[in-house]
């Protein structure tokens, strides 16, 4: 995307005021989106983002400057402006930019341009129609499809020259059901590092009918009771609790600043012995996978927790300096407008031994949070809050009534310690994670698990 000699000049300029490390990130991202509703193509959008960010370190302090005026003169000027923020003694830094050999995984089979926008929209309308035809109670079905091609270049004063292209796509369907004055909405999605083969090998009719029946069943859901109860959390997107309440606290960004409850706890028991968890950016075609991170380090599979014992953090280059640790390939950013930091990729709790049926049957009274909604956490305190998207009461080991409006609150440490059953049905689900380096695609995952004694906030 940029000439190697120009990049070398930019890095040299960046180091001219005594910085001890400099890098340039160039991102070129094309996004196309389609939205259908009410049997019409409501929106078709395109966006093209192209720009560069220059980062310079002086020990653990740093400067970040970015621009999208990409001519030689302005790029060198940006490097100069950035360098002005460093006031240190000149270092002898020599580098020779060499291609980083990458195993280019996640190659797509059917390029996005192999079908017209119209053909894609027609498929979306067809899937929506399955939902609308499922029941007269379904009054609206909306579909959204997004495809992203992200080309990146990362070059730094360690001599790394890493170029990569990642393509990803995702499809959403939502249905609104109405009966008298009651209106409820449900949705589901699938995505990954795929071209148009994203839609292949799936039963799209069954997918749409499930979304429709989900919206209908909510019409008769009762208000969720409040209080402390045992909560069985479903597989797949249920892993969002682990992502928020534990994952963020294992990012070096929080650990290095002593702003995480997990700081200083390597080798210690932080969770129930039933819990083993990974962050793995190398899973084939998974939504959160990448070949190389946004500071030029190859990605890897990291064991975070083994049988409840904390094994490792997710470490980026800058926070690694603060912690005296090597970066382990997890530094990410949304685009060139963000300086990168340690982030998750595909983060999940590994399979245990119980079957999901056993877990329900062993729960006398509690809540089955089959599908989680979104939530947030304060890494400093570990306190989280989550909405439950689809929930049922468990009475005498059986799933009984559907309930709505449930919220789970508590602290990450509390939950990790109180996991007392782990299922054998691990699955992954797509999400977008927002933090200081922007919004990035991440995968959450887990088998069905049971957590004792969570505070449930309902409307009753």
Partner 1 sequence: MQVQEFIEKLYQESQAQGINQFQIDYSQSENFSLKAMDGKIEKRSFKNVQHLSFSVKEGKNIGSIESDKLEEGDIPLIIKEAKENALLMDNEEENFFFGEKREYPVVKRNTPIKDYETLDKEQFLLRLEKAAYAQDKRVKKVISCYLNEGKYQTAIRNSLGLNVSEGGTWAFAGIYLSVEENGIIKTASEYVKFDKKDDLNPELMAQKAVAKALKKLSPISIPSGKYKIVFENECFAELLNVMKNLFSATSVEEKHSKLGDKLMQKIAADGVTLIDNPLLDNGYRTRAFDGEGYPSQTNVIIKNGVLQTLLHNLRTAHKFGVTPTGNGIGGGSRGVSYSNFYLENGNLSQDEVLKQTKDGVYITDLTGTHAGYSAVSGDFSFGAEGFLIKNGKIDKALNQLTISGNVYDLWQDIELVGNDLKFTPDGCGSPTIAVKPMQISCN
Scan residues 394-433 and list those touching partner 1 (CB under 8 A).
Answer: 404-407, 409-411
Binding span for partner 1 by CB under 8 A among 265-273, 307-315, 343-351, 385-393 = 385-393
Binding span for partner 1 by CB under 8 A among 11-19, 66-74, 90-98, 419-427 = 66-74
- Taking the C-alpha atoms of 124, 125, 128 and 134 in order, what is their torsion angle to the nearest 10 degrees? -140
Nearer to partner 1, 410 or 441 (CB): 410
Q: How far is the CB of 226 from partner 1 (least distance, A)?
A: 4
DSSP per-residue string spanning 65-129: EEES--SHHHHHHHHHHHHHT------------EEPP-------SS-GGGS-HHHHHHHHHHHHH
Q: What's the distance, Cα to Cα, between the start and end of the chain in Å? A: 58
Q: Is 376 in the site for partner 1 (CB under 8 A)?
A: yes
Q: How many residues bind partner 1 (CB under 8 A)?
A: 73
| Tokens read off for 169 | 């796509």
Nearer to partner 1, 18 or 397 (CB): 18
| Tokens read off for 411 | 């602290």
Q: Is 172 in the site for partner 1 (CB under 8 A)?
A: no
- Figure out which of the listed residues 153, 176, 231, 283 binds partner 1, where binding follows CB under 8 A: 176
CB atoms within 10 A of CB 410: 22
Is the separation of the CB atoms in 262 and 417 below 8 Å? no
Nearer to partner 1, 43 or 90 (CB): 43
- Figure out which of the listed residues 140, 265, 298, 311 binds partner 1, where binding follows CB under 8 A: 140
- Figure out which of the listed residues 110, 115, 151, 185 binds partner 1, where binding follows CB under 8 A: 185
Chain residues 30-49 in contact with partner 1, contact rule CB under 8 A: 37, 40-49
Nearer to partner 1, 79 or 315 (CB): 79
Nearer to partner 1, 300 or 453 (CB): 453
Q: Residue 53: which H helix or E strand, with range?
A: strand 40-58
Nearest alpha-carbon partner for 313 in 334, 335, 330: 330
E-strand ranges in 215-318 read 222-223, 227-233, 277-280, 301-306, 309-310
Q: How far is the CB of 46 from partner 1 (least distance, A)?
A: 4
Q: Is 63 in the site for partner 1 (CB under 8 A)?
A: yes
> Cα–Cα distance between 130 and 36 in angstroms, integer?
14
Q: How far is the CB of 407 from partner 1 (least distance, A)?
A: 4
- Figure out which of the listed residues 12, 16, 68, 165 binds partner 1, where binding follows CB under 8 A: 68
Q: Is 378 in the site for partner 1 (CB under 8 A)?
A: yes
Residue with tokens 């291609």: 99
Q: How far is the CB of 322 from partner 1 (least distance, A)?
A: 10
Chain residues 234-273 in contact with partner 1, contact rule CB under 8 A: 257-259, 261
**Residues near 235 by Cβ (< 8 Å), separated by ≥ 6?**
356, 423, 425, 426, 427, 445, 446, 447, 448
Is the separation of the CB atoms in 435 and 367 below 8 Å? no
Q: How far is the CB of 109 from partner 1 (least distance, A)?
A: 24
Distances (CA, A) of 129 to 13, 184, 270: 58, 18, 48
Q: How far is the CB of 132 from partner 1 (least distance, A)?
A: 14
**What is the pairing mode between strands 160-179 and 98-99?**
parallel
Q: How far is the CB of 99 from partner 1 (least distance, A)?
A: 25
Binding span for partner 1 by CB under 8 A among 98-106, 175-183, 200-208, 285-293 = 175-183
Residues 321-340, one symbol each (x = binds partner 1 by CB under 8 A, - = not), give: ----------------x-x-
């Amino acid at each position: 995307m940029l000439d190697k000699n120009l990049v070398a000049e930019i890095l040299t300029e960046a180091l001219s005021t005594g910085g001890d490390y400099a890098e340039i990130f160039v991102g070129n991202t094309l996004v196309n989106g389609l939205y259908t509703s009410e049997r019409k193509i409501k929106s078709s959008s395109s966006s093209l983002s192209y720009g560069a960010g220059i980062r310079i370190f002086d020990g653990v302090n740093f400067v970040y400057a970015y621009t999208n005026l990409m001519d030689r003169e302005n790029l060198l000027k940006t490097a100069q402006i950035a360098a002005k923020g460093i006031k240190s003694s000149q270092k002898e830094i020599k580098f020779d930019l060499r291609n980083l050999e990458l195993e280019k995984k996640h190659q797509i089979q059917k390029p996005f341009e192999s079908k017209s926008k119209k053909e894609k929209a027609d498929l979306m309308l067809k899937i929506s129609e399955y939902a609308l035809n499922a029941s007269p109670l379904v009054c609206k079905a909306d579909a959204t499809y997004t495809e992203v091609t992200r080309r990146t270049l990362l070059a730094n004063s360690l001599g790394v020259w890493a170029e990569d292209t990642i393509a990803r796509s995702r499809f959403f369907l939502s249905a609104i059901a109405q009966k008298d004055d009651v209106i409820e909405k449900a949705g589901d999605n699938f995505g990954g590092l795929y071209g148009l083969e994203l839609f292949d090998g799936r039963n799209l009719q069954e997918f749409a009918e499930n979304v429709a029946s989900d919206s209908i069943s909510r019409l008769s859901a009762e208000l969720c009771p409040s209080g402390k109860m045992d909560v069985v959390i479903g597989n797949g997107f249920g892993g969002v609790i682990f992502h928020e309440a534990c994952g963020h606290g294992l990012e070096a960004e929080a650990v290095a600043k002593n702003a995480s409850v997990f700081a200083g706890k390597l080798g210690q028991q932080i969770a129930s012995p039933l819990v083993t968890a990974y962050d793995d950016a190398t899973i084939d075609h998974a939504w959160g996978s990448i070949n190389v991170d946004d500071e030029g380090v190859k990605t890897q599979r990291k064991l975070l927790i083994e049988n409840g014992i904390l094994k490792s953090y997710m470490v980026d280059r800058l926070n690694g300096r603060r912690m005296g640790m090597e970066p382990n390939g997890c530094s990410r950013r949304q685009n060139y407008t963000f300086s990168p930091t340690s982030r998750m990729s595909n983060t999940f709790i590994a399979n245990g031994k119980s079957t999901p049926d056993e877990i329900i049957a062993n729960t006398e009274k509690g809540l089955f949070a089959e599908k989680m909604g979104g939530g947030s956490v304060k890494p400093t305190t570990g306190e989280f809050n989550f909405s439950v998207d689809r929930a049922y009461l468990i009475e005498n080991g059986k799933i009984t009534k559907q309930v709505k409006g449930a919220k789970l609150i508590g602290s990450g440490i509390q939950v990790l310690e109180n996991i007392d059953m782990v299922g054998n049905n691990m699955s992954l689900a797509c999400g977008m994670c927002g933090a200081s380096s922007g919004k990035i695609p991440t995968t959450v995952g887990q088998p069905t698990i049971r957590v004792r004694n969570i505070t449930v906030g309902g409307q009753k």
